[in-house]
Amino acid sequence: MSDASASPDLERSQGIERIRDRTYGGFFVVCALITVLTTIAIFLTLLSDSVAFFSEVSIADFLTGLHWSPNPTGGGSDFGAVPLFVGTLVVTATAAFVALPIGTLTAIYLSEYATPRARSILKPMLEVLAGIPTVVYGYFALVYVTPALKATLFPSISTFNALSASLMVGIMTIPMVSSISEDAMSAVPDELRQAGYGLGATKFEVSTGIVVPAAISGIASSYILAISRAIGETMVVVVAMGAQANLPAVRDGLAGIPYVHPGDVLLDPGMTMTVAMVQIAGGDLTGGSLPYDAMFALGLTLFAVTLVMNVVSDLVANRYREEY
Amino acid sequence: MSIERSEPTFGRVSRLKGTVFEYLSLGASVTGIVALGVLLIYVAIDAFDLVNASPEWLLTYYVTLVLPLIGFCLYSANDRSLIRRTAFALGGGLVAMALTFSVVESFVRPIPRLTWQVAYLFVVVAPVTAYVVFVGSREPIGRTGFGLVGRVLGGTALGLSLIILFTVFDERLWFLAYTLGVLPAVGVLAYSRVNPSSPVSLLPVPVALVGFVAASVLRGPVDVYPTAWLIYVWTLVVPVSAIIAGLTAQRDGETKQTAAIAGVAAFALIGGGSLAAGSLGVSSEHALLVLLGSGVPTVMFGRRVVASDTGRVGLFLPVLLVGGALAGALIAESFGFPAPDPWLDASFVTSSPSRMPERAGLYPAIVGSVLVIAFVALLSFVLGVGSAVFLEEYTVESGVVGATTRLIQINIANLAAVPSVVYGLLGLGLFANLLGLGFGSVVTAALTLSLLILPITVISAQEAIRSVPDHLRQGSYAMGATRWQTTKNVVLPEALPGIFTGTILALGRAIGETAPLIMIGAAHTVFSPPNGIWSKISAMPMQIFVWSDFPQAEFRYGVLAAGVVTLLIVLLGMNATAIILRNKYESGV
Amino acid sequence: MATNGKADTSSEEETETIISTAIETGESRDRGPTESPRTVVTARDLDVYYGQERALDGVDIEIPENRVTAIIGPSGCGKSTFLRCINRMNDGIDACRVDGELRFHGTDVYDQGIDPVALRRKIGMVFQKPNPFPKSIYDNVAYGLRVQGRAGEVDLDAAVERALRSAALWDEVKDQLDSSGLDLSGGQQQRLCIARAIAPDPEVILMDEPASALDPIATAKVEDLIDDLAEEYTVVIVTHNMQQAARISDRTAVFLTGGELVEFDDTAKVFENPDHDRVEDYITGKFG
C-alpha cells in the first residue's frame, strides 16, 4: 500500500488534469452560451432596423395599410402589410386544411392500428416528407402541380398561384403533425384503452373516443407548431405563388352581402410576408433604405408570431400533460 | 354503436364504421408519401429524359444490370421464399402495370409523359430492388459486396470533395499550416501521452493555433514550395499511411513488421497509383486525392474480407455492376436502340450556368455547396457537441447554473422553431452588414447556416450523450477521473456514432436551405467556382431557385429537373451514410 | 473457505444453520494480529438528505483497516447511500445534502478544500452491475493509472498483470488482453472491475452489492477474492445477502429502515447474539 499516512493528501490540487478539466468546461459553457447569444442577436438585429423603420412608418400604417409597394428607389412607396397578412393567412389556412386532418389520421393509424412492421416502414417515409428541401417543393408546385391542376380541375389557374403552393406546404407539414400527435397518443396509458375495451367499445370507439381526447393537448400543440411552420415557410411560396401583393376583389353577392370568391384568392398569385422579404432582398441589401428596414420589420413580425405560437404550443402541451 | 338484432344472445357489434375508419386513416398515412413519390418519378423522368427511352433500351439495361443485381442479392440472402416472392412481384407487377395503363388510357385519359414500362421500373422494380438489396446486404456475401461498393462510392465522393476544397484553397497555405501547426501539435500530443502529468500536455491546441498564425503570416514572404503533388504526399499520404500502420499494429495478432508493411503498402499504393494515373494523362494530384479517399478504405476492407472466411464471393459485385453496365451499353449501341439524352450527365455537373439550356451546368453551385457545408460541418459539430456536453455532463440541476441550463434548454427548443428566413436576416444584419464579412460570402453563409442547424445538432447530440449508460460514467468517476477525462474517455466514444448521425442529418437540412442564402445576398449566378472564403458564392438550391424563374420549357423540365435530382442525390447520399452509421453501431454494441 | 454459494435465502429454517456454518468457517480465518486495527474511515453523526427526505440518520461508525466490513439491511435503509458518501459519489446527485462528519484518516471528506477526484483516487469502488468500459481488458485495468496521470511513472504492463492476478483473472484472460472487456462472462466482468479498482492501488475498496448480479459459482469466486483482498486493502461491502456478510466479513454494520445504523460489531457477535431485538428479527427473517 502506497500511502497510509495519517493525513492523506486530498487537498484541491492545481494539477494538470484540473486545469484541463476547467479549460474544457469553460469552452463547453461558451458553446452553450452561443445558443443564447444567437437568440439575443436575432432579436437585436431585427429590433434595431425595425426601430428605424417604425420611426418613418407608423406601426398603425404598417399593420392596417392596404397597399404594399416598397419602391427601392425611394419615394411614393407604401408599406401597408395587410395584403401580406392576407396572403400568409390564405397559404397557412389552405396548408392547414391539408396537413391537419391528414396528419391526425396518420397519427391515429400509426399509434392505434399499424403493426410494428408497418410503423417501421411508414415513419421514416413520413420523415422524408419533412427532409425534402423546400425549394424542391416549390419547383414541384410550379412545374408539376399547377399544370396538373390546370389540365384537370381549374383551367383558369394562373402560372403562379396560392393553391399549389399551399398544397405543397401542407404535404410538407404532415410529418410535423403526425409525429408529435403520435407521440402524444402513444403516451396515453394502455389502462385507459383497456378500460374502454372492458366497457365493450370497439377499436374505433376507443381510438376516437378515448385516445384522441386523452392526447388532445399534444395534438393541439402539434397543430400550432405546424401552423407556425407554414407561416414561416418561404421557398415554396417564393417559387410557386408569385409576388403580387393584391387584396382579393370583393364581390357583391346575390343577397347584397359582399364576399370574396375563393377562386380569386387561391387560383391567382399572391404575396406572403416571407415573399415580400425575399423580394426586397433581391434588390437592396446594403442597408439604410426604408425597404431594407421594412424587411426587418416583417422579420420581427414573423419572429414574434412564431415565437408566441411556439410558447403557446409548449404551454398547451405542458398544461394537460400531468393528467396521467 | 349499432347492434344488429338477428343474434339471440349478445348480438353483434357492427365493425363497419371502424373498418372504414381504419382504411381512411391508412389512406391518409400514405397520401403525402404517394404524392411525393409521383412527383419524384416525374422529376426523375425529366432529369434523365426517360420519356425518350425506348422500351428496348430499358429492357436491355433491365436484363444486364438490374436482374443481375437482384440475382446477387437473392444469392446472398439464400432464401427460397424470398426468391419466389421476388419473382412473383416482378412478374405480377409487370402484368398489373400493363393492364392498369391500358385500362386507364383507353377509358379515362392518357397519362402524360409516362409509359407503362417506365412506371413499372419506378413503381415495381425500384421498391423490389431496394427490398432485396436491404435483405441481401444483411447476409455476409451481400455485406461484402455492398460494403465494397459503398466504400468505393463514398470514398470517391470524399476524394472529389477534397479536390473541390483544394481548387478553392491554396494548397501552399495548407502545406505551411500542416507543417507548422498540425505536425507539432500531434508531436506534443504524442509526448503528453507518454508523460501525461507534464505541463506540456496542455499545449496541443495552443501549439496548433500558433502554427496556423505563423503559416498565414509566412505564406506571403516564403516563396519556395514543393509541387502540389509533393504537398499532398507530405500532408495527406504520409499521415494516412502512418495511421494505417498504427491501426494495423493495434489489431489482434499483428506484428510490428506487418504494421510497417501495411503502412508502406498504403503509401506505395496511393503514391504509385497517382503517378501511374499521371502518366495516363489524368491529373496525378486529382488521382492522388481520389485514391486517398476511395482506395485506402476499399483495400483495407477487401483485405479484411479476404482474411475472413465468409462472403468472399461478394467481392465480385463491382465487377457484376460494371460489367452489366458495359454489356448494356454495348448491346444498346450495336442494335441501335434509341437511348435517352439525359439532362443530368457529366457535363451538367462540370459546366457553369448558361442562358442556353443544353450548356447550362451546376458546377460552381456544387462547389459553393460543398465549401459551405464543409465549414458548417466543422462549426456546428464543435458548437453542437460542446453545448451538448455542457448540458448533459457539466451542468448541475440546482442554483444559478441550473436555472441558466433550463433557460438554455428552452431557448434551444424555441430557436429550432424560428423560420429560416429570419436566420437569413440575422446573417444579413449581423454578419454581412455589421461585421462586414461580405454579402453571400462563404463565411457569411457558413456562419448563418451553422446557427440555423445548431439547435438540431445540439438536441441530437444531447440525445446521443444521454443514451450512454450511467454506470459507465459512475465507473469512471469512481476511478478518480475528472469530468473531462470521463467525457473524453467514456462518454464521447460511446456517443460519437449517434452524434455523427444527428449532425449529418442536420447538414442535410443545411444543404437544402435557400431562403437564408437569398437574404444574405448569395449570388444569383456565378460562372466560376469561388476562390476563397471571402468570395461570393452560389449553392445548389440557390441555383435551382434562380432557374425556376426561367420560363423556357427546356429549363423547367430539363435543367431544373437535373438540378433538383442532383441535390436530392447528394441528400440521399448523406442520409444513407447517417443511417448506415447508426445501424452499424446499433448492431455492433 | 467452504462457502455455500447456493444458499437459498427464501427459506427461513435453513437461514440460521447456514449463518452459523458460515460464521464457524469465518472464525477459522486468520487476519493478522488480533489487537484492534487502525481506523480508516470514521463517521460522526452523519445525516444525508435527498431533497426533503432523510436517507441517513445520525450514523456513527469506525471502519477498521485491512478488514472486511459488511453493511447489511433491508432495501432502502441507506446502506448504498452510506457507501457512496465515503468516496463522495453522491456529489453527482444535486438534491443530495450531507451533514455531520465523515473522516478519512482524520481528514474531513466533506471539507471545502477536499477534491472529490483526489479522494476517489484513494478509495476505489466496485458496483452492483459489472460495468467494464467498452475498451480492451488491458485498457480497462490501466484506466485508473492513466487518468490519474501515473501511466508514465509505473510499469503499466506489470501493474495490469498484478491487478489481474490479484483479481484472480490473469490466467483466464492473459492471452486476450486486447479483446473487449464486454466479451467476458458476467462473473469475469465483475472480477475485471475489481482488477480495475485495485490497479491504481487504493487504500479502501468500496463494493456495492458486487455479487448480486452474478450466478452462484461466480459469486463464490468473488467472495474468495474479497477475502484475499483484505490482506492488502480495507474493504467495505454492501450486501443484501446476510449469509454473504456472515461468510466474508470481519465486522458487520446493520442499517434499518430510516437510515439508522442500529448495530455495528464483530460479525460473529452480530449474527449470534445481537444487542438489539430489531436486528435479531431482521437477521432471522422476521422482519425486512
According to DSSP, residue A109 is labeled: I
According to DSSP, residue A11 is labeled: B
Give the pLDDT band (50/70/90) at residue C8.
very low
Q: Taking CB atoms and an 8 Å cut-off, how many pairs form between chains A and C?
A: 47
pLDDT at residue A166 in the model: 93
pLDDT at residue B253 in the model: 62
Give the pLDDT band (50/70/90) at residue B311.
confident
CB contact under 8 A, A274 and B419: yes
- Neighbour subunits, B (≥3 Cβ pairs < 8 A): A, C
pLDDT at residue B267 in the model: 87
Mutation target to probe the A interface, by most A beta carbons within 10 A, among C107, C108, C229 is C107
CB contact under 8 A, A12 and C114: yes
pLDDT at residue B576 in the model: 86
pLDDT at residue B511 in the model: 92
Classify domain C65-83+116-283 by CATH number.
3.40.50.300
How many whole angstroms separate alpha carbon B508 and alpha carbon B369? Answer: 11
Residue B227 pLDDT exceeds 80 = yes
Q: Tens digit of pLDDT for each residue in C206-248?
A: 999 888 888 888 888 888 888 888 888 999 999 888 888 888 8
How many whole angstroms separate alpha carbon B452 and alpha carbon B463? Answer: 19
Can you list the domains of chain A with their CATH numbers?
Answer: 81-249+260-321 (1.10.3720.10)
How many whole angstroms separate alpha carbon B214 and alpha carbon A75? Answer: 53
* Nearest C-alpha in C relative to B398: C94
Neighbours of B481 (CB within 10 A): 26
Nearest to C229, CA basis, from C187, C197, C189: C197
Query: Which three cell numbers mark C243?
Result: 449469509
Count, residues in chain C: 288
Average pLDDT, rounded, for chain C:
82
Residue B3 pLDDT exceeds 50 = no
Tell me which range, B200-204, B508-512, B546-550, C73-77, is most confidently predicted by mean pLDDT.
Answer: B508-512
Residue B371 pLDDT exceeds 70 = yes
CB contact under 8 A, B485 and A17: yes
Nearest by CB to C203, from A4, A9, A12: name it. A4
pLDDT at residue B547 in the model: 87
Residue B161 pLDDT exceeds 50 = yes
pLDDT at residue A297 in the model: 92
Asked if B588 reaches chain C (Cβ–Cβ under 8 Å), the answer is: no
Q: Taking CB atoms and an 8 Å cut-off, how many pairs form between chains A and B?
A: 278
Alpha helices in B48-79 (DSSP H): 55-61, 67-77
pLDDT at residue B163 in the model: 87
pLDDT at residue A71 in the model: 66
Nearest by CB to C120, from B195, B396, B477: name it. B477
Cell 496541443, residue located: B204
- Pick the more confident residue, A253 or C211: C211
Q: Tens digit of pLDDT for each residue in A206-242?
A: 888 889 988 888 899 999 999 999 999 999 999 988 8
Give the pLDDT band (50/70/90) at residue A72.
low
Residue C16 pLDDT exceeds 80 = no
CB contact under 8 A, A278 and B519: yes
How many whole angstroms separate alpha carbon B478 and alpha carbon C272? Answer: 35
Q: Contacts of residue B199 in chain C, CB cutoff 8 Å?
A: none
Nearest by CB to C104, from A8, A13, A17: name it. A8
CB contact under 8 A, A7 and C105: yes
Domain that holds residue B511: 357-588
Give the pLDDT band (50/70/90) at residue A74.
low
Q: Tens digit of pLDDT for each residue in C112-136?
A: 888 888 888 889 899 988 899 988 8
CB contact under 8 A, A17 and C149: yes
**In the Cβ-directed half-sphere of B215, how many Cα atoms lie within 13 Å?**
22
Q: What average pLDDT score do residues B411-437 get?
A: 90
Residue B228 pLDDT exceeds 90 = no
* Nearest C-alpha in B relative to A206: B18
Q: Tens digit of pLDDT for each residue in A81-101?
A: 888 898 899 999 999 999 999
Query: Which three cell numbers mark B48?
Result: 434523365
Residue B452 pLDDT exceeds 80 = yes
Query: Which three cell numbers mark B132?
Result: 432485396
Q: Contacts of residue B475 in chain C, CB cutoff 8 Å?
A: 127, 131-133, 193, 196
pLDDT at residue B261 in the model: 84
CB contact under 8 A, B480 and C118: yes
How many whole angstroms separate alpha carbon B259 and alpha carbon B247? Answer: 8
Q: What distance in Å separates residue A260's CA from the closest CA in chain B?
A: 30
Count, residues in chain A: 324
Residue A204 pLDDT exceeds 50 = yes
Give how many domains chain B has, as a whole number: 2
Residue B389 pLDDT exceeds 90 = yes
Domain boundaries in chain C? Answer: 65-83+116-283
Q: What distance in Å separates residue C271's CA from the closest CA in chain A?
A: 31
Cell 400568409, residue located: A88
B183, part of any domain: no
Angle at A312 between CA A311 and CA A316, to 5 degrees: 120
Cell 499545449, residue located: B203
CB contact under 8 A, A2 and C201: yes
Q: Answer for the pair B529, B363: CB distance below 8 angstroms, yes or no.
A: yes
pLDDT at residue A8 in the model: 58
What is the CATH number for B530?
Answer: 1.10.3720.10
Angle at C208 between CA C202 and CA C209, to 5 degrees: 130
Kindly write down the DSSP assignment for every residue of B348-416, as one continuous string: HHHS---SSGGG---HHHHHHHHHHHHHHHHHHHHHHHHHHHIIIII--SSHHHHHHHHHHHHHHHHHT
Residue C137 pLDDT exceeds 70 = yes
According to DSSP, residue A291 is labeled: H
Nearest to C211, CA basis, from C237, C233, C185, C234: C237
Asked if B425 reaches chain A (Cβ–Cβ under 8 Å), the answer is: yes
CB contact under 8 A, A11 and C113: yes
Residue B188 pLDDT exceeds 60 = yes
B310, part of any domain: no
- Neighbour subunits, C (≥3 Cβ pairs < 8 A): A, B
Residue B349 pLDDT exceeds 50 = yes
